[in-house]
Each structure stands twice: as structure tokens, then as C-alpha cells.
Structure 1
Amino acid sequence: MVTPPRLVPLLAQFDFARERLLNRLTGPVRDSGNGIEVPVAGLTDEEYRWEPAPGCWSVRRRTSGPGPRATLLTGDRTGDWGRDATPPPHPEPAPFTTIAWRLSHLIEMFELRTDHTAGSRTRTRDDVRVHGDADSAVTAFAAASAAWRAMLTTVSDTDLDTVGYSSYPHGSDPEDVFMDVVWWLNQELLHHGAEIALLRDLHRARVGR
């Protein structure tokens, strides 16, 4: 299938952001931004769940219950872990979130939007596994983002202009043309990827590495 020309730059942007984030999480090197390779260690479990500020939201064992100002742990209830959450309205000011929370959020968005675009259109947050360790979370992020990217290669120019082509229930997708949804997922990857990269830098500086 021929990729619609207006989708090409968004796919290139997505690929760039995804590769940079995965390299930043796994190592052994990352691009400094000017083509120079900089050594980077893989994400550790301690760093993954590091809470750099009071009252952080994170992923937690279900036996421990939700964290400060959270009222529930979202995610697959057959698993041992959940992600801090609360029904709207959300707390103000918003809680600071860990790398674990942000990665889990990305995994959920990619998994569910792929399903609500080209899958069963039935999966909910209660079907998405939350991971308590870094390796599993990075692997799940790689798989979920790759599935979203693969699905995008099947859409047509008409699909991009179709309102509700994605029926993802936790956003405005049912009222949006699909092109806007694709753009939105790119900016989610870009801005959460940048946040995760900054948290890695802060953690490294904190421990004096």
C-alpha cells in the first residue's frame, strides 16, 4: 500500500523520536544530537521507579495500594502492578510522575489506540499490563510503539480524514480526524520522551555518576 504523502513526515518524526528514546533507555550509546555517540547505561529498576519529588505518582504493587492523592491503580488487575490514577477531575497541581509512570502511560496509549483503530476496539485500561521492572517496561514500550507504527502503514489518505477512525475512549479521538490523532501520538512520544531523558540526567547527577 502506498503511504499517503502527508503522512510521510509524521512517520519520519515518529521513527526519529522512538529510536532516540529507546537508545536513551537501553544503551550502549545514544546520539548526543550532533551525531556523536555518547555512552549510556541501560535503565535500572531503581532508576525506573525513582521518585525525585514528594508525592510522586508511579507504578506500585497492588498490595501496597495507590500513592499520594491517587485513588486507584489502573492496569490489568490480574497483574501484580498498577499505575497511580484517579478519575476526573485530576489533582491540581498535577503530581510529578516517575519514569515508570510515564513509560506505562505511553505503553497504554499505543496499545489501546492501535486496538481502537485496527483491532477489536474493545480493550480498556484494565487490559493493559503495568510493569514493575525496567526491562519489561522497555520491552513492552518497544512492542506497543512498533505495533502502532506498523498499523499506520495500512491507512489510506481517506482514512486520515475520517472522523472517529480511532475510537480510543480516553481522548477526543471519536470527534477527531485521524490525521490529528497521528499528530497527537507523535507529540506524546516527543514530550514524554524528553521528560524521561531529563529524569535520567537528573538521576545520574544525583548519584554522582
Structure 2
Amino acid sequence: MPLPERLVPLLDQFDFARQRLADRMAGPVMDSGNGTDVEVGPMTDAEYLWEPGPGCWSVRRHADGPGARATLLVGAGEWGRDTAPTPHPVPPPFTTIAWRLSHLSEMLALRADHTNGSRSLTRDDYRVAGDVATALAAFDTAADAWREALLSVDDKALDTVGHCTYPHGSDAENPFLEIVWWVNQELLHHGAEIALLRDLHRLRA
């Protein structure tokens, strides 16, 4: 099936942002933005779980319970991600790389499932990673799944409100093309946050 022309620039943007974030986290080099390779070391577990200040939200073992101002840990397996039902705490807690990457990967995986999969996965089904190697692999798997979901749509699907049945966003109210744009926005802004946290961790001394 040919790719709808309207989807091509958004898919290109997704691919670029995904690769740039993956390289920024894993190294050994990343694109500086102008085509120049910049050396970057692989992210460590210490960086992944680093809490720059008090009261951060992160990923934690279910056995340890949620962090400050969180009421539960969402996710399958040994680890879960801090969260609270709406309305969320104000001001919002500062979140770790682990929290941001888990949120991003879960969103990609669930939106993919609710676009061309079983349309049944929930946050309680998503396995949260407690270490960076597992988290990077999970991000890669989730990004692949979302890309496959994008390749499955035609022009009619792009205009269809509720084509994606993801239950934690505006998918039921917006054409799928707007959801594709929104997912790119999520990847770009959380990717930038993760990159900044890596820089701050390196300079913390």
C-alpha cells in the first residue's frame, strides 16, 4: 500500500527524532543537528534513575511503593512508574529520565496496539524497565511498533476520528493525522528533556 503523501514528512520527522534520541542515549556518537557527529557515552543506570532534587517521580519497584505525591505505580512486572489520578499534583513533580523514557515507550507501544493491534493493551499490561539496557530495548521495540502502525494506514484512516482507540489521549476526538503529529511532538519534547538531563548529570559535580 502506498504511503499517503501527507504522512511522508511526519514519518521522516519521526524517524529522525527517534534515531537522534536513541543515539543520544546509547552513543557512541550522535548527530549534533548539522550533520556533525559528537561523541557521547552510553547512558548508565545511575543516570537513568538519577533524581536531581527532592520529590521526583521515577520508576520504582512495586514492593517499595510510589514516591512522593504519587499514589500508585503503574505497569506490569517488578517495576512501575509513579503516577496519580487526575487532577495531578500542582506544581507537577520533576521526573527522571527513567520516568520520561518509560512514559514515551509506553505511549508508543499502546498507541501502536490501539491502531493496528489488539486494541486492548492498558498501562497495567506494559512492563516498566528498571535498568537502562532494558529501557532502551523497550523504546526501540515500541518505536518499531508505532512505525509499523503508521505504515498500515491510508488517506481515509488519516482523516478518521478515533482510528486509534488509545484511551489516554484525545484520539477519540481527533483525526488520526493529528494524533500522528502529536506523537511526534511527544517524541521531540521528551527527547530534548532526556538529552538535557544527561547533560546536567554529566555536569552535576
TM-score range (shorter-chain normalised) is over 0.9
Q: Where does residue 186 of structure 2 map in the other structure?
A: 188
Q: Which whole-Å deviations, capped at 9, do the CAs of 1:147-177 have from their partners, x for residues lacking one? A: 1012211100010000100010111101111
Query: Mapping of 1:93-132 within 5 angstroms?
Result: 93-132=91-130
**Residue 34 of structure 1, CA deviation:** 2.0
Distance (whole Å) between structure 2 residues aligned to residue 130 and residue 121 of structure 1: 20
- 1:170 pairs, out of 146, 168, 171, with 168
Distance 1:194 1:46 in 2: 19
Q: How many Å apart are 1:31 and its aligned residue?
A: 1.3
Q: How far apart in 2 are the matches of 1:159 and 1:32?
A: 35
| Separation in 2, partners of 1:57, 1:12 | 32
**d(CA) in 2 for partners of 1:164 and 1:203?**
40
Residue 3 of structure 1 aligns with which residue?
Answer: 3
Equivalent residue number for residue 179 of structure 1? 177
| Alpha-carbon distance in structure 2 between the residues aligned to 1:167 and 1:32 | 36
Spell out, residue by residue over 1:76-95, the C-alpha distance to the aligned partner (whole angstroms, 9 max, x if none). Answer: 1xx11000000111000000
1:76-95 matched pairs, under 5 angstroms: 76=76, 79-95=77-93
Count of equivalent residues: 205
Matched ranges for 1:149-160 at <5 A: 149-160=147-158
Counterpart residue number, 2:39: 39
State TM-score, norm by structure 1: 0.97
Q: CA RMSD in A?
A: 0.7
Contact 2:116 2:152 in 1 (8 A): no
Letter in 2 for 1:124: T
Offset at 1:39?
1.1
Determine if the alignment matches structure 1 residue 204 to structure 2 residue 202: yes
Q: How does 1:43-82 map to 2 (within 5 A)?
A: 43-76=43-76, 79-82=77-80
Gaps of 5+ in 2: none
Cα distance in 2 for partners of 1:144, 1:195 equals: 19
Deviation at 1:26, TM superposition (A): 0.6
In the aligned structure 1, how far is the partner of 2:122 from the partner of 2:54? 30
Letter in 2 for 1:9: P
Q: Matched residues in 2 for 1:195 and 1:109: separation?
A: 16
Opposite residue 177 of structure 1, the aligned amino acid is: P
CA contact (8 A) 2:59 2:130 kept: yes
2:152 is the counterpart of 1:148: no
Distance 1:27 1:170 in 2: 32
Structure 1 stretches of 5 or more lacking a match? none
Runs of 4+ in 1 over 2 A off after TM superposition: none
> Is the partner of 1:33 in helix, strand or coil?
coil
- How far residue 46 of structure 1 moved from its aligned partner, in angstroms, is 0.5
Between the aligned partners of 2:145 and 2:118, the Cα distance in structure 1 is 14
Paired with 1:32 and 1:184, the residues of 2 have a C-alpha distance of 24
Counterpart-to-counterpart distance in 2, 1:152 and 1:110? 11
Equivalent runs, 1:24-35 vs 2, <5 Å? 24-35=24-35
3-state SS in 2 of match to 1:174 = coil
TM-superposed CA distance for 1:101, in Å, is: 0.1
User: How far 1:107 moved relative to its partner?
Assistant: 1.0
TM-score under structure 2 normalisation? Answer: 0.98
Amino acid in structure 2 at the alignment position of 1:190: L
